[in-house]
Amino acid sequence: MTISDKVENIFPTENDIPAEVRVRALEQKDYLLNGKITIWRGPVQQVFSPVSLKGKKGLTRKYLGSYPLMTEKDALEALESAVKAYDEGKGIWPTSTVEKRIACMEDFVCRMREKRSEVVRLLMWEIGKSLEDSEKEFDRTVEYILDTLNAMKELDRVSSRLSVTQGVIAQIKRAPLGVVLCMGPYNYPLNETFTTLIPAILMGNTVVFKPPKYGVLLHRPLLEAFRDAFPKGVVNTLYGQGRRIIGPIMKTGKINMLAFIGSSKVADILKQQHPAPHRLRCVLGLDAKNAGIILSDADIDLAVKESLAGALSYNGQRCTALKILFVHRSIQNEFLEKLVTRIDRIKAGMPWEPEVKITPLPEDEKISYLADVISDAKKYGAKVINEGGGMTNGNFVHPAVLYPVNNKMRLWREEQFGPVIPVAPFDDIKEPLKYVVDSDFGQQVSIFGSDETKIGPMLDTLVNQVCRVNINSQCQRGPDAFPFTGRKDSAEGTLSVSDALRIFSIRTLVATKDSDANKRLIRNIIRNRTSKFLSTDFIL
C-alpha cells in the first residue's frame, strides 16, 4: 500500500473499533465547588475526538460528550470557595498538620487508581494519544504523586528540629502561599496538570483548577475522589473558555500563585491581569524550540533513532520535542537517507492500535497551520524529502521532513508542535550554536557525537543557554526527580518532585531569643502541642 493509500484509509468505521476501547459519550453536567459536586444547568461545550469515523456521508468526528461552559459568575464563585477554604491561612487545610495532609493525599491516590481505565480511555479518545502512552501518562502521574508524598515526608523530617544560631532559637519550615490557579496543557492534560496541582494541594494551598482546552472529560471520573479526599473548598474545578473565566479571577487579585503550562503569550496576558503582579508568584512551563545537533562523528543510527523519537513522539506535540535538527554537511546524505527510511516504518493509525506512533491531532487549526509552514519552507527552498510528507486526511497529518531549512523560514523560529521535522545542514559548529544563542527559547538541546574535545567545549556554551543538554539522547522532561525548567521564553520557576513542593510554599520560621523564659515557652508549646506549626513531631 502506498503512503497516500494509507493516509486515505487511516480512519476506521464505527464497527472497526475494538470492543475493549469503545467509548460512550460522557455528558458532564456537574463540577466541584466548595466540596459539593454541583449540578450545571447552563450551556455546554460539545467534545469531539480527533479521531474521525468513516460512514456513508464521509468522515465524521467521533462525538465524546460535553462539559459545562461556565461564566464569569461561576468562575468568581469557584475562586471565592478557594479563598474561603484558605481563610487568610486560618482554614482547616492550611493549618492541618503535614501528616494529615499526607493522609488525605494517600486516600486520593487510592481513589484515583480505581479510575485508571476510565481516565485512560478518555485521555486516548480526547487527545488522540496512543493507548500505550495514555496508560504511561496515568501511571507516571500516580508514581509522581507517590514520589511527592515521600519527598514531603523527607522535607518535613528535616524541618522538624529547632536550630540555635547566634543566640536565636528557630524552627524553619515551609508554609502555603494561598490560592493557586492551576492550568495544564492539552498534550499532557493529566500529568502536567497534576505535577502542579498535587504539590500545590499538599503544601496547604487551596486550588482553582481549569483543565486545558482539549482533555477535559478525562478529569470527570476524578471529581468524587477530590471531593471525598480533601476538605471542602480545597479543590474547585472550572470549565470553559479561558478568556471568559480566567481573566475575571486574575483581575480580583485574589490568586496568590499561577501554575500554568502553555504559551508565553497567554502567560503574559494572565500575569498582566493581576492588579498587584509583585504579589503573584508564578511557575510557568512555556514555549520551546529544542534543537538537535548532529556532529560529523556521531553514531548516525543512534542519532536517527533518537531524533525521530524526539521529533515525533505523540506527533511532536511535546514541549520537549526536537523541533529542528542541525546535521553536519559531511554526514547529511547518510543521515537523511536513514531518517527517511525509518520514518516510513513508523506506524501511523488509530490510538488504540498496538505500537502506533502517529495519530490524529486534537487541534483543528493545527492542520492548516502545518500546511502553511510547510509551504512557507518550500517557498524559501526546502523540499519535503519523505514520501507523503505533510499529506492530510481529517485531523491526521503524515510526518514531513523538510530539507534544507534556513533562517528565512517560519519553521526556523516557530514552534510547530506537530509532526514536521525541519533539517538544516551546517559546516561550522558556530552555526547551530549561534542558532541556540539567538533563539527566543531556552529549554533543552541534544547533541550527538563522540569526540570529547568537541563536545566538552560545546557543553560549556550550551549550559548557559538552555537548562538541559542531552548527549546522544533526545530531549525529555523525565525522570521527574530531575529539575525541569527553561530560560528566556521557555519557563519561569523549576519543577521536579522536590522543587515543586518548594515552589508552592514559602520558608517561614518561628524564632525567639535564647532566654530561660523563651525556652520554657517553646518547650511547653511543643510538649502540650498547642501549635501545629511549631512541633518536633517526626513522620515515620
Nearest in space to 187 (alpha carbons), one of 443, 402, 413, 359: 359
Q: What is the Cα–Cα distance from 37 to 494, expressed in whole angstroms?
A: 33
Judged by CB under 6 A, the stretch of 230-238, 339-347, 430-438, 472-480 that binds ligand G3H is 472-480
Q: Which of 482, 128, 134, 476 is nearest to 307 (CA)?
A: 476
- If one asks whether residue 476 binds ligand G3H (CB under 6 A), the answer comes out as yes
Instruction: Confirm or reject binding of residue 227 to ligand G3H (CB under 6 A).
Output: no
> By the 8 A CB rule, do 387 and 164 touch?
no
Using alpha carbons, select from 481, 399, 391, 439 the residue that is nearest to residue 195: 481
**Do strands 257-261 and 281-285 pair parallel, antiparallel, or not at all (unpaired)?**
parallel
CB of 318 to ligand G3H, least distance (A): 4
- The least CB distance from residue 359 to ligand G3H, in Å, is 15
Q: Measured between alpha carbons, how far is 239 from 104 in angstroms, rounded to an integer?
A: 25
Stretch of 87-95, 176-184, 317-325, 524-532 lying at the interface with ligand G3H (CB under 6 A): 317-325
Q: Of 188, 194, 335, 426, which lies in the binding site for ligand G3H, with binding defined by CB under 6 A?
A: 188
Beta strands (DSSP E) in 123-210 are 163-165, 168-176, 179-183, 206-210
Total residues in contact with ligand G3H, by rule CB under 6 A: 9
Judged by CB under 6 A, the stretch of 52-60, 107-115, 299-307, 471-479 that binds ligand G3H is 471-479
Q: What are phi and psi of 469, to 5 degrees?
A: -110, 120
Q: How far is the CB of 319 from ligand G3H (least distance, A)?
A: 3
Q: Is 318 a residue that touches ligand G3H (CB under 6 A)?
A: yes
Locate 333 and state its grid cell: 546524505
Distance CA 482, CA 468 (A): 10
Ranges within 83-112 binding ligand G3H (CB under 6 A): none
Binding status of residue 483 toward ligand G3H by CB under 6 A: no
Q: Which of 200, 319, 382, 400 binds ligand G3H (CB under 6 A)?
A: 319
- Under a CB-based contact definition with an 8 Å cutoff, are residues 501 and 283 in contact? no
Q: Is 374 in the site for ligand G3H (CB under 6 A)?
A: no
206 binds ligand G3H (CB under 6 A): no
Q: Which stretch binds ligand G3H (CB under 6 A): 185-193, 273-281, 364-372, 434-442?
A: 185-193
Q: Which range, of 36-44, 223-231, 316-324, 332-340, touches ligand G3H by CB under 6 A?
A: 316-324
Q: Work out how close the CB of 289 gets to ligand G3H at its nearest, in angstroms, rounded to a whole number.
A: 13
The region, left, alpha or beta by phi > 0 then psi within -120 to 50, assigned to residue 383 is beta
Nearest residue (CB) to ligand G3H, 381 versus 478 = 478
Q: How far is CA 502 from the centre of its chain?
A: 18
Q: Which is nearer to ligand G3H, 188 or 239 (CB)?
A: 188
Task: Please tell me the chain's helix, strand, coil percentages from 3-state DSSP, rounded to the nearest 5.
Answer: 40, 25, 35
Choices 2-10, 206-214, 446-454, 475-483; region in contact with ligand G3H by CB under 6 A: 475-483
* Binding of ligand G3H by 187 (CB under 6 A): yes
Instruction: List the interface residues with ligand G3H, window 320-339 (CB under 6 A).
Output: 320
CA distances from 192 to 63, 259, 321, 496 (A): 25, 10, 15, 11
Which residues lie near ligand G3H (CB under 6 A)?
187-188, 192, 318-320, 476-478
